[in-house]
Chains A and B, each alone.
Chain A
């Protein structure tokens, strides 16, 4: 990349408005100065309408992963039981392989992958993160109620 930013993930798709797409970036930045530059450089693009840094916002954040795992019939039930708390969906199966779909916070997906890894991951596909800012944000200017202040 021209300005030495390392993009962790990008997701993009249409929005409710015709001809307008929304992209969600996860970017590792060293410091505030780099972050400010990143936002300014993106904003500078003529086709970019708006850039929001939602790192500190209250957001809903989701990623989807498709994980193909070796799963012979004799241990499949055991596997399903182990992964059950992650509420994955089984979206494809064959004789020895099962494909799980997991949706959620990337930490949850990481945990799921670690859990399933010993069984033998055949293929891993992650979408990257997409996010939406919550309608209700904790207000910074809310009156300080504590009497200790």
Chain B
């Protein structure tokens, strides 16, 4: 059933599906209904990290080196965890500066340097093309395994002519795909939405395929993981496999690989492409930072079981276990699914990597060369735009062919098998220039250049050259004795550092040399103004007040700028730049000066298509008197930091002021209230004083005007006058008392006394009066003596006042009063109750206000109760002065008003 026709049908059917998805994605993008505007699609597109090397090679690595394969995925997990600090910054810079690739990014950081961009593009090309070859090889091998099983795949691989190789045809189809969906627009900083959608789909396919084969192996070939591991435990050779001792280089190898994966994840051109260039929305990073690691975890979940199962069953080449295990069980469908999964892993990588590389080749290598030929500058409208697209397309075909040739000619040598990690170390050489440049403003172009070259050479010497030696192209004595017998130059043990795994060893030396040269040379070189500006814009990219206005001050005419844009980008793109700026470009504006903003827009538009370095060259060719405003940029950044600090302090101060203002406001309100109360008090006092005064005056006038008034009548008038005078002086005494109490000037003669005795005395005082009015007064004193500290006269004043009030408000028909004295919890309580109507709950505090007099119930008595309305306030003030309290409580026995006086008990001593 596994005929070539069926397989080819599956392969090209799958590729056809990719075309459809990509075309659909692009259509939706044109309609403004993007399908990649989702964090999940973004996370899936990042999973292009998992190539055929993951799909087939992880199992191979696990079978050989135990758990070390996981490091390739733990590094990116940490990198994604750090994405709010690193990748977010890169994404923001790329969006602002219209960055098209990692080469463009590094070139832009170091003053839009043409040389640095070309260097990065060249290194990428050298390190990554073999990696593309590895993917094509994976397709060829997996196809051969599928076709030839149960025979060995080798016979097919050796006998086949290269034009019979399926991967050549796959490469050609991919070239068409990439040209169609990767070079639709000139503007490389525009997103390739269709391509990203297809990549996301591929990520799903490879995940599903790998999980399917994993589940099959664990649960169908074996009865669950327990059974599998139990069998492994019985095989001594395997039971040690999953320990640290299987990891090449042991602990240092572990850490080295961890760091390597972290750096490579950020610097591999395809990762930069999907992480940064194709990012639609910075916010997507939040979801991707955990979803992508989750994807990695899932796709690795079954690697160890598959590797162990393959070893147990002795299934041949570990790199092909994922295919061989289902084949050996006689399945037909699953191997095909696995093959498609591997195909999707390989094609996804090839597509993105080729787009990234072709953009670099056209923008960083070819374009700067073209711009040197003056002839091209006088090309006709938009011709260069087409040129550029053509260059990119040719580059795509060439890169793929190069990859294919690499695979076809030297495919079986050692150097290709290990190229995955070798490429990682090569790409990691960009890390110092990229990461240090992202955080240290002082890193200069020359430092980056020298560091990069030295790092690259070290990588070549410690990894690439030994690879050639192992492939038999060089004398293997190089590896054992060193070049010309100089042992400390041995590539795998530089300066005698042996015992390390070769990748950690190479990474250590190349990074050490690369980074220290970058830092060292930067400290002794002076950056150009453009470099300084770019350095500031990169390192401060997350600064909240980073200026977005033009930083260059140059002069040119709108006409010259328009002509430049038309020549390089075409008429439409030129119109777009001018349209965004203001109105359409009109011929009569030819000679008007172009604003700084317009110049900046034009440069950005050029950068999005040709790369930053070429855009700068072109803009410089028409703009005169360029004066870079580095001073103002730096001072702007510094002053904004200061301003932020000032703002923070200012806010603190104003908060403080607002709080003080509120305090003042409430104090003022309180004062007004007190003022109002004072006015009320004065009015009331005047009123209270006037009543007796008026009657005294009236009677006195009668007596004065009528000397012959009858004696009994005279006596009556005089007695009224005496009574009213007494009332007047009592009132004045009370007011004085109150004033003294409130101002705290009243002196109380506090001494220990017996409250019970005092109560008895008070009761005696009022007894006669009560008898006259038929009031029944009951006294219940629980404790004798009830020792308190107080002023006897004043306390008696309180008791009398309470008794007097009670007699006034008791039920007029059967007046009753109860006085109780009891002790509770170190306090003495004196309670006076009557059987009147009581005091409503809401009026219980009002009765203690000055001149407040309860409006007795209209039905009972319509006249005002006698008294000044000062008795209770005075009583409460005295009680408070003596450390006690006076309040109204719910009636307990007689159902009328119930006043309670509480005083702290004094010890008998």
Asked if A pairs with B, the answer is no
